[in-house]
Homo-oligomer: A and B are copies of this chain.
Amino acid sequence: MERVNKMPKQTFFNLEPERREKIIAAAVDEFARHPFEQASLTRIVENCGIAKGSMYQYFADKLDLYLYIVELAYERKRDYVGRAFALQADIFSVLEEYYRQSFQFSRDYPSLNQVTNNYWNSRAQVLSGALEEGRLNRAEEFGRFLSEAMESGEVNADLNSEAVFFTYHAVGRTLIDYFDKDIDDDFVKQVLDVLRFGLQRRGEGK
């Protein structure tokens, strides 16, 4: 997720807020509708009534703009969703809360949500490094979270923790991808229950 050496130029931050917001809105919309490679700078400038040349006063190139927008979407989402991890509760409640927030975010800010979805689904060569790094960061966070739950005995310690992350990551990403379809809170809960209880029938208890 981190950018290395690129940023909007200072000029961009000197802009009147109204103008800046128009640019951001048009860019978010475009990157929500199209993955990076198919997104069109020409369309963006048309939709916000800014000259093409001006864009290059603010951003080095299309990739620079894209990464700025992705980071912005990511930060907004983290602010919105982060609360879940703050609450001191069992791992299943935390996960449920996390996806509930995530779901709510996608309803409140569908475009921002689509921007991040497109980013994670991206196969563009230029992005693969950053994507891999982002995935590793998340895996690490999740790993810490998980091993606590294994030590406390909430979680089946026989499982391979990388495999657990992989599974949750896959399901979470797909869920969020489907948020704009016709699913609801209850379906999210049921999917999480599949992961929680497992497909195989459990022994006598209950």
A contact residues, range = 35 or more
* Assembly stoichiometry (copies): 2
Q: Which residues in B have their C-beta under 8 angstroms from that of A203?
A: 202-205
Nearest CB in chain B to that of A203: its residue: B205
What are 12 of the A-B contact pairs (CB < 8 Å)? Answer: A121-B121, A155-B200, A155-B201, A156-B197, A159-B190, A160-B190, A167-B195, A170-B174, A171-B171, A194-B195, A194-B198, A203-B203
A72 interface residue, CB < 8 Å from B? no
Q: Which residues in B have their C-beta under 8 angstroms from that of A195?
A: 167, 194-195, 198-199
Query: Is the beta-carbon distance between A191 and B167 smaller than 8 angstroms?
Result: yes
Known: A171-B167, A171-B170, A193-B163. Contact between A156 and B199, CB under 8 A? yes
State A35–B34 Cα separation when bound (angstroms).
13
A173 interface residue, CB < 8 Å from B? yes
Majority secondary structure, A binding face:
helix
Nearest chain B CB to A87 CB, angstrom units: 18
Query: Is the beta-carbon distance between A197 and B158 smaller than 8 angstroms?
Result: yes
A52 interface residue, CB < 8 Å from B? no
Q: Which residues in B have their C-beta under 8 angstroms from that of A167?
A: 171, 191, 194-195
Interface residues of A in 15-33 (CB under 8 A from B): none
State A193–B191 Cα separation when bound (angstroms).
16
